Amino acid sequence: MTETKREVKPSTTPVARGLAFERGVTAAVGLLALVVGVLALLVGTGWLGAFRAQRPLADPILVQWLRDHWQLATAVAIVLGVVLFVLGLWWVVRALRPEARPDLRLERGNGDLTVTSAALTEAVRADAERVTGVKRARVRMAGSEQHPALRLTLSLQEGTNVRHVWEDLDEKVLSRARESLGVDTLPTTIRLQLDRAPRQRVR
């Protein structure tokens, strides 16, 4: 009899808060600054013509237009400043906002059952600490109510067989969590760290 082994796919659960938006904006601003810097370098060194290299940084025509329409230019500068301030404030609030720990709403029969994130993480933590070789476990909910995920940080005793811990987590801990929630998949990020033995003072 041939035993079929289930294929384990890499987890797509982020270890930390998703930073795709912040990285995209930072990359775009950095690329724009690089292009402007290279263009200024080419103009200043005369690669685009000696006449352009000798011209002042601010175009005289533009300076004269700003002087003639200073009221309009001031209004545009104020509006632009307010917009940039609001965007910067929104970005700071978004970056400092605590990560969500979603509760799970399960449909059972004619009613709904809500499982709080604290109850689920406590149950998973208790099961994980029963695994041989696991000394301590920390569990956090992640994701959203529609797409929940788990994050486990396990402190292992010295000499622990990591492979056995990994198998027990999937077979005893995570499978029980999936069965309790009635889901087929529960993306989980697992971080393993070795719990060092306390140092002994030599007298």
DSSP 2: P
**H or E element that contains 115:** strand 111-115
Residue-wise DSSP of 79-101: HHHHHHHHHHHHHHHHHHSPPP-
Tokens of 86: 């609001």
> Among the ranges 93-102, 148-157, 189-198, which has the highest mean pLDDT value?
148-157
Rg, Å, the chain Cα set: 29
Strand 134-143 to strand 111-115: parallel, antiparallel, or no bridges (unpaired)? Answer: unpaired
**pLDDT tens-digit map of 29-49:** 889 999 988 888 887 777 777
pLDDT in tens, 69-115: 889 989 999 999 999 999 889 888 877 777 677 777 766 556 677 77
